[in-house]
């Protein structure tokens, strides 16, 4: 017990701050021993698994990678410590080049099939086997598609009593889409352009960003288009018109109390000051066409000014009653 205590006492005294020279000697000795061990170890041969950089080579003109190809492959190798260190730590390690003869019809390569190709390109280390089971890739032909642009009616939000009174124009009205042919084959030939503005009450002209497709490899041109159309405010004007009854009821007890009918005209606001004259309208009802199921007569707007294109009766029927 005293021997152990004596040892630690002497070691502590050796490493005291007052003995800085002794401490420096210890540190340098440890560093020298570690360096010697490290370089000795690197002179030995080892077997290990490493991820080695690879690149695919194929005729790229007119083709594109839909998904990013693998950048590394896992391999089991043997070699000297120095060589293995250079292959795993050093920068600018030369890639193993893997040729693809028929990229449009080849979508994977088995790792075992790459042994000769990889082994022939490795220098200073020996390839034992390829650990990676399969390398997948998706290479497609680059295609173009013209897509017609349109603004759906549901995308146009108008203020109450306002209407679109012109064609909805888009400039340009066609989108050029470039991307992998199999993805483009899934796309519709038309694309809706959304409008951000709501409750539109005036002529519309705005540059709108074209919606992007949910595919990373698809590019569109142009990225934005101009949308424009005319908007007009409409108003409603009313006039009471006498009802002209034709014929007679078969049942003498049948009678009607309505003598006038309200006519509603919808027209642009700029024409709202027009004066309506009852004589320009005629509403008729034929008593001989009484609907016996619900005791009603159908009203017909028989005459009205030709300039009114949107006109209707407030009530299309009148009720027939029977005297006691």
The Cα–Cα gap between 234 and 310 comes to 11
Residue 80: which of 116, 34, 48 has the closest Cα?
A: 48
Percent composition of the chain: helix, strand, coil (DSSP 3-state, to 5): 25, 40, 35
Specify the residue for token string 């594109």: 64
Same fold, 143-229 and 234-322: yes
In 10 A of CB 250, how many CB atoms? 10
Record the pTM. Answer: 0.65
Task: Out of 2.60.40.10, 2.170.120.40, 3.40.640.10, 3.40.50.300, select the CATH number for domain 143-229.
Answer: 2.170.120.40
Q: What is the pLDDT of residue 36?
A: 43
Residue 323 reports pLDDT greater than 90 = no
- Give the CB-side neighbour count of residue 26, counting CA atoms within 13 A: 11
Residue 14 reports pLDDT greater than 60 = no
Class of domain 234-322: mainly beta
Specify the residue for token string 């029977």: 322
Structural domain spans, the chain: 2-42, 45-137, 143-229, 234-322
Question: How does pLDDT run across 214-248, given as a tens digit for each residue?
Answer: 888 899 999 999 999 999 999 999 999 999 999 99
Residues 6+ apart with CB under 8 A from 201: 158, 159, 162, 231, 233
What phi and psi, each to the nearest 5 degrees, are found at residue 107? -120, -5
The Cα–Cα gap between 228 and 211 comes to 18
DSSP per residue over 216-283, as a string?
TT-EEE-SEEEEEE-EEEEEEEEEEEEEEEES--SSTTEEE---EEEEEEEEEGGGTTPPP-GGG-EE
Give the tokens for residue 30: 């440890």
Question: How does pLDDT run across 179-228, given as a tens digit for each residue?
Answer: 999 999 988 889 999 999 999 999 999 999 999 888 888 999 999 999 99
When pLDDT is averaged across residues 91-101 and rounded to a whole number, the result is 78
Question: What is the SS3 assignment for 99?
Answer: strand
Q: What is the pLDDT of residue 68?
A: 83
Question: How does pLDDT run across 15-60, given as a tens digit for each residue?
Answer: 555 555 555 555 555 655 554 444 454 456 667 788 888 889 998 8
């Amino acid at each position: 017990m005293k021997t152990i205590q004596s040892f630690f006492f002497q070691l502590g005294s050796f490493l005291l701050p007052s003995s800085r020279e002794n401490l420096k000697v210890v540190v340098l000795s440890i560093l020298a021993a570690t360096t010697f061990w490290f370089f000795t170890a690197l002179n030995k041969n080892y077997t290990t698994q490493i991820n080695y950089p690879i690149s695919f080579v194929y005729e790229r003109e007119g083709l594109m990678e839909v998904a990013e190809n693998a950048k590394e492959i896992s391999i089991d190798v043997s070699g000297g410590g120095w060589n293995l260190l250079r292959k795993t730590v050093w920068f600018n390690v030369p890639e193993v080049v893997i040729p693809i003869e028929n990229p449009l019809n080849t979508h994977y390569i088995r790792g075992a099939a790459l042994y000769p190709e990889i082994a022939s390109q490795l220098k200073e280390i020996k390839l034992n086997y390829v650990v990676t089971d399969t390398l997948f890739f998706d290479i497609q032909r680059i295609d173009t598609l013209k897509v017609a642009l349109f603004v759906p009616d549901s995308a146009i939000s108008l203020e109450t009593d306002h209407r679109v009174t012109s064609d909805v124009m888009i400039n340009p009205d066609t989108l050029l889409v470039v991307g992998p042919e199999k993805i483009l084959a899934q796309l519709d030939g038309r694309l809706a352009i959304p409008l951000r503005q709501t409750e539109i009450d005036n002529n519309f002209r705005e540059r709108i960003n074209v919606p992007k497709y949910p595919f990373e490899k698809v590019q569109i041109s142009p990225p934005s288009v101009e949308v424009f159309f005319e908007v007009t405010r409409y108003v409603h004007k009313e006039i009471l018109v006498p009802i002209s009854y034709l014929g007679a009821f078969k049942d003498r007890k049948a009678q009607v109390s309505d003598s006038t009918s309200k006519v509603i005209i919808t027209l642009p606001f700029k024409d709202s000051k027009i004066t309506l004259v009852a004589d320009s309208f005629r509403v008729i009802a034929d008593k001989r066409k009484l609907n016996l199921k619900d005791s009603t007569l159908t009203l017909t707007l028989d005459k009205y000014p030709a300039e009114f294109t949107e006109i209707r009766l407030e009530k299309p029927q009148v009720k027939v009653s029977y005297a006691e």
